[in-house]
Structure 1
Amino acid sequence: MRTAERNTKTRLSGTASPEPPGVTVADPSTAARLTALLAAFRPGDDALGVSELARRTGLPKTSVHRLSRHLVDHGLLERDGSALRLGLKLFEIGQLAVRQRGLVDTARPLLADLREATHNTVHLAVLEGTEVVYLDVLRGPDAPRLPSRIGGRFPAHATGVGKAILAFSPEDFVDTVIGAGLPRVSRRTITSPALLRRQLAKVADEGTAYEREESSIGTVCVASPIVDADGHAVAAISVAGWVNRMRTERLAPAVRTAALALSRTLR
C-alpha cells in the first residue's frame, strides 16, 4: 500500500524520484539482471510489485517473474502477497561482510607489527568451501613474490592458513574438504589424505601450521588460527618468506601470540 501511495504521488506531482546509478540493465547476463533486481530496492522500500521492479530495472515483467522466483528459492527475496521484499539471506551475507571487515580492521595493527619484525609477507585469511580467501596481505620487503592477493583464493590444504583453520574445524567439515580432492599445486603439495590428517592432528596439538613449498617452490610459511569461544577457527594469520632464509620454528611463537591476541579480542 505504501508503494502504491508513493507511485500515485509521483504521477500527480509530475516529478519522478531520482534513480540510483547502475540499476537499469545494459548487460544481458543473468548475473547482471539478478543484481539489478536486488539493487532496485532503495532505503525506505518495504515490498515492491513486479511492475515497479520492471520499471526500475528496465526488465520485461516476464523476466522479473522468472528471476524473482530464483531469488526467492535462494532466500535473497521473500514474497509479501503479490509483492517482493529483500530476504533474510541478504542480511546474513551483509553481517558476514561486516564481521570480516571488522576482522581486517582489528587485525591490521598486529599484522603490521609482524611484517615490521620479520620483513616477510603477512596474511589474514578465512576458509570458504575448500579454499582460503585472503582478506589482507601485507607484503614484506625481503619476501618473495607470492601468488596470494587480497580477495584471492587458494586450495586450503596447500597453505599454512588453510591447514591452521582445518585443524580447528569440525571433523565432518574436514572430511568434506578431503573428500572433494586434494589437487596438486606444486610438486611438494600434500595430496595424501592420511598425511594431511596427521599434519592437522599435529597442528591441533601445537597451535601452529607449517607450509613448506606446498603452494610455491622456494617459499615457506608459518600460520596460527584465530578461534572463537568454542575453539573453532574463524580465520588464520601467517608469515611467509624464502625457504632458505626464513626460520619458521623461530617465528612460530610470534605468529601464535598474535593469533591468540586476535582470538581474545574477537570473543
Structure 2
Amino acid sequence: MTERIVRVLDSFGDDRTVQTSTDIARRTGLPSSTAHRIVGDLVAAGLLERDEQGRVRLGMRLWELALRGSRALRLRQAALPHMERVQAQIREHTQLAVLEHEEALFLERLSHPEAGANITRIAGRLPLNASSSGLVLLAHADPEIRERILHGHLEAVSPETVTDAETLRALLASIRRRGHVIAPGSIEAVSTGVAVPVRDHGQVIAALSVVLPRAAATTPAVNALTSAAGAIEQDLRSAP
C-alpha cells in the first residue's frame, strides 16, 4: 500500500500540478478503482487537496509534515542568509542542492531579475552529471554510489554534458582536488555553472552554486561561493 501511495504522490510534477483521479490512474498504472480510493484517502488526510472541478493537487499538510524536523530545513535555514549575500554580490541565480536518490535535488534558488538562463527549480531534480551542483555532489558521494553512476547511463541534458565515464571520472577527481567546479554549457549552451561543496562537520552534505552567463568571469563567483560555504558550515556547527 505504501508503494502505491508513493506512486500517486510521485505522479505530480512541475508541469503537472493538478490532476484528476483518472489521470493519476493512467500515469501510475494503478487500477482506476484503486487510484480513486487512494486519492480519496489522501484528500481526507489533507495530503492532497481537491479543487472546485474535482481535480487534486498536493496538499499543504504534506508540505507541513515534510518540514518537521527535516535536515533539509535546517540546512536551508543555515544557508539562506549566505545565499542572499552571494546573490546580491554576483547578481545571478544562486542555488542549494543535495544528493537524493542519485540525483541532484534543489532545495532553494534565489534569482535576480536580470539573471540569465536557468532550468532548475526548487524541488526540481537533475542528473548528477548534468549540473555544476550535481558534479560536486557526485565527486564527494559515497564511492559505491559514484561507481554505480559512472557505470550506468549518463544522461545528456545538453551537447556539452559530460557523458563519457572516464572523462567524468577525471573531472570528479579534479573537483575533489580543487574544491570547486566550473561547468560551461552542461545544461544551457549560454550558461556556466560554478559550484562548491557545503560541509557539516567535515562531511559534504550539499552543493552551493551560481549560474553565470557563458562569457562572465568565474573567479568572483568561486570566491563568493567558497566564503559562503565556509560560513554555512560554521553556522551548522554552532546550531543546536
Query: More relative contact order in 1 or in 2 (CA 8 Å, sep 6+)?
Result: 2
1:227 paired to 2:202 = no
Distance in 1 separating the partners of 2:147 and 2:40: 38
- Unmatched runs of 5 consecutive residues or more in structure 2: 1-19, 26-33, 47-64
Q: Any conservation in 1 of the 2:179–2:196 contact (CA below 8 Å)?
A: yes
CA drift of 1:130 comes to 3.0
Which residue number in structure 1 is paired with residue 209 of structure 2? 238
- The equivalent of 2:70 in structure 1 is 98
Q: Distance between the aligned counterparts of 2:67 and 2:77, measured in 1?
A: 15
Alignment coverage as a number of residue pairs: 191
Q: What per-residue deviation string (whole Å, max 9, x for no partner) do you get for residues 173-217 of structure 1? A: 111222231111111110111111111111111211121101111
Aligned residue in 1 for 2:217? 247
2:117 aligned with 1:145: yes
Secondary structure at 1:184 match in 2: coil
Return the alpha-carbon distance in structure 2 between the equivalents of residues 31 and 203 of structure 1: 45
Q: Which amino acid aligns with 2:214?
A: V
SS of structure 2 residue aligned to 1:123:
strand
Taking the aligned partners of 1:151 and 1:224, their CA distance within structure 2 comes to 20
Shift of 1:232: 3.1
User: Distance in 2 between the 1:208 and 1:155 partners?
Assistant: 18
What is the percent sequence identity of the aligned residues? 28
1:1-267 paired onto structure 2 within 5 Å: 27=21, 29=25, 30=34, 33-34=37-38, 94=66, 98-229=70-201, 231-244=202-215, 246-267=216-237
AA paired with 1:234?
I
* Cα pair 2:132 2:181 within 8 Å, conserved: yes
Partners of 1:258 and 1:228 in 2: how far apart? 13
TM-score normalised by structure 1 residue count: 0.64
Q: Distance in 2 between matches of 1:162 and 1:199?
A: 12
- Structure with higher Rg: it is 1
Instruction: Decide whether aligned partners of structure 1 residues 182 and 115 sit closer, same or farther in structure 2, where only a CA change above 3 A counts.
Output: same
Deviation track 1:20-60 (CA, whole Å, cap 9, x = no partner) reads: xxxxxx94745664466578779xxxxxxxxxxxxxxxxxx
Contact preservation (8 Å) 1:164, 1:209? yes
Aligned partner letter, 2:157 = V
Structure 1 32/170 Cα, relative in aligned 2: closer, same or farther at 3 Å? Answer: farther
Instruction: Extract unaligned runs of 5+ from structure 1.
Output: 1-25, 43-92
Per-residue deviation at 1:171? 1.0
CA distance change for structure 1 residues 183 and 266 in 2, over 3 Å: closer, same or farther? same
TM-score by length of 2: 0.71
Contact 1:27 1:33 in 2 (8 A): no
The structural deviation recorded for 1:132 is 1.0
Q: CA separation in 1, counterparts of 2:178 and 2:67?
A: 32
Counterpart amino acid of 1:193?
A
Check whether the contact 1:158–1:211 (CA below 8 A) recurs between aligned residues.
no
Check whether the contact 1:184–1:191 (CA below 8 A) recurs between aligned residues: yes
Q: Residues of 1 paired with 2:117 and 2:166: CA distance?
A: 31
Distance across 2 between alignment mates of 1:140 and 1:171: 36
Quick one: distance in 2 between partners of 1:131 and 1:115? 24
Contact 1:237 1:255 in 2 (8 A): yes
Which one-letter code corresponds to 1:240 in the other structure? V
Asked whether the 8 Å contact 2:97–2:206 carries over to 1, the reply is yes
Contact 2:196 2:207 in 1 (8 A): yes
**Distance in 1 between the 2:45 and 2:125 partners?**
31
Sort the Cα spacing of 1:140 and 1:170 in 2 relative to 1 into closer, same or farther, 3 A: same
